[in-house]
C-alpha cells in the first residue's frame, strides 16, 4: 500500500532544522507495524498540487499551525479533496489539524476552544472499540498534545472512540466513510513536544506551564499503540486487504 501524506504545516522555524518534517514522523510511526508500506509526501501548504484520487490508496492529513477556519489558499481545496476522497471510499486518517480538517469536511463544527491550549500528556477515556483497535482492552490511553482548536460536534454517521473532559471529540471513527482521526499527536516524541512548547516559552505559555507540560511526558505515552491502530485501519480499509 502507498500512503499519501498531505503535509499541511511545518515545524516552527526556530526548530525546523533540528527535527524531521511531519510526514517523516508519520512514516516512522506507522511503517514498523506495516511492512511493505510506502509513503509519499505532498506539501499542499507549500503550494504542491493535490494528487489524482485514482492514484491514491490511502490519505493521511498532518498537523498544522493553521486553523480550518482560516482563509489560506489551500484550505477550501483541502476540505473539498477530503470530501471527494470520502465519496470515493479512499481511507483517510487525520491528526490534530488533520483531525479537525476531516471532521469539518464531513460536517462537524470546528473552532478555537474556550478551554484554551492543551499541552503535555493527555489521557483519553475509551468509549468504544472499533475493529482497528484489535484486542485493546484498557479503559484509557495517552498522547502528547499541542492544540487550542477543537472539534465541537459529531459529523453525521461518526462515533466518538475516545474522549476527555478537555477534549470530548478526541478520537473519531466515521462509520460508513472509511476515516479515523485523532486530536493527539502519536507522531511526536517527548523531545519534539518539549521543543515545540519551548518555542512559545514566556510568550504564549508561561515558563511554569512549559515545564509542567514537559514533565508530564516523563510518563510514557501510547504512540506505538496508536501507530498500530493506524496500520490496522489501513489494512482493513485499503487495497492491502485484497492481496
**Catalytically annotated residue among 27, 167, 187, 193:** 187
Q: Does 185 qualify as catalytic in the annotation?
A: yes
Which member of 185, 193, 194, 214 is catalytic? 185
**187 is a catalytic site residue:** yes
Q: Does residue 111 have an active-site annotation? A: no
Pairing of strands 171-173, 159-163: antiparallel
Closest CA to 124 of 108, 143, 137, 110: 143
Do residues 59 and 41 touch, judged by C-beta distance below 8 A? Answer: no
Please say whether the beta carbons of 110 and 69 come within 8 A: yes
Catalytic residue among 96, 167, 193, 194: 96
Residues known to be catalytic: 96, 185, 187
Amino acid at each position: 500500500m502507498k500512503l499519501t501524506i498531505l503535509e499541511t504545516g511545518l515545524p516552527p522555524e526556530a526548530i525546523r532544522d533540528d527535527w524531521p518534517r511531519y510526514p517523516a514522523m508519520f512514516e516512522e510511526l506507522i511503517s514498523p507495524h506495516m511492512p511493505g508500506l510506502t509513503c509519499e509526501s505532498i506539501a499542499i501548504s507549500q503550494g504542491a498540487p493535490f494528487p489524482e484520487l485514482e492514484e491514491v490508496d490511502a490519505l493521511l492529513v498532518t498537523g498544522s499551525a493553521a486553523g480550518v477556519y482560516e482563509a489560506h489558499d489551500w484550505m477550501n481545496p483541502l476540505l473539498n479533496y477530503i470530501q471527494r476522497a470520502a465519496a470515493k471510499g479512499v481511507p483517510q486518517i487525520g491528526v490534530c489539524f488533520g483531525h479537525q480538517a476531516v471532521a469539518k469536511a464531513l460536517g462537524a463544527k470546528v473552532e478555537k476552544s474556550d478551554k484554551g491550549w492543551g499541552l503535555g500528556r493527555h489521557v483519553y477515556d475509551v468509549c468504544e472499540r472499533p475493529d482497528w483497535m484489535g484486542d485493546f482492552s484498557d479503559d484509557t490511553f495517552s498522547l502528547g498534545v499541542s492544540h487550542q482548536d477543537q472539534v465541537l460536534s459529531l459529523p453525521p454517521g461518526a462515533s466518538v472512540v475516545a474522549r476527555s473532559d478537555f477534549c470530548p471529540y478526541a478520537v473519531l471513527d466515521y462509520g460508513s466513510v472509511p476515516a479515523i482521526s485523532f486530536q493527539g499527536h502519536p507522531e511526536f516524541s517527548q523531545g519534539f513536544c518539549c521543543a515545540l512548547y519551548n518555542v512559545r516559552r514566556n510568550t504564549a505559555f508561561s515558563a511554569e506551564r512549559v515545564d509542567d507540560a514537559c514533565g508530564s511526558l516523563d510518563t510514557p505515552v501510547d504512540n506505538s499503540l496508536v501507530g498500530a491502530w493506524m496500520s490496522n485501519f489501513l489494512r482493513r480499509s485499503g487495497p492491502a486487504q485484497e492481496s
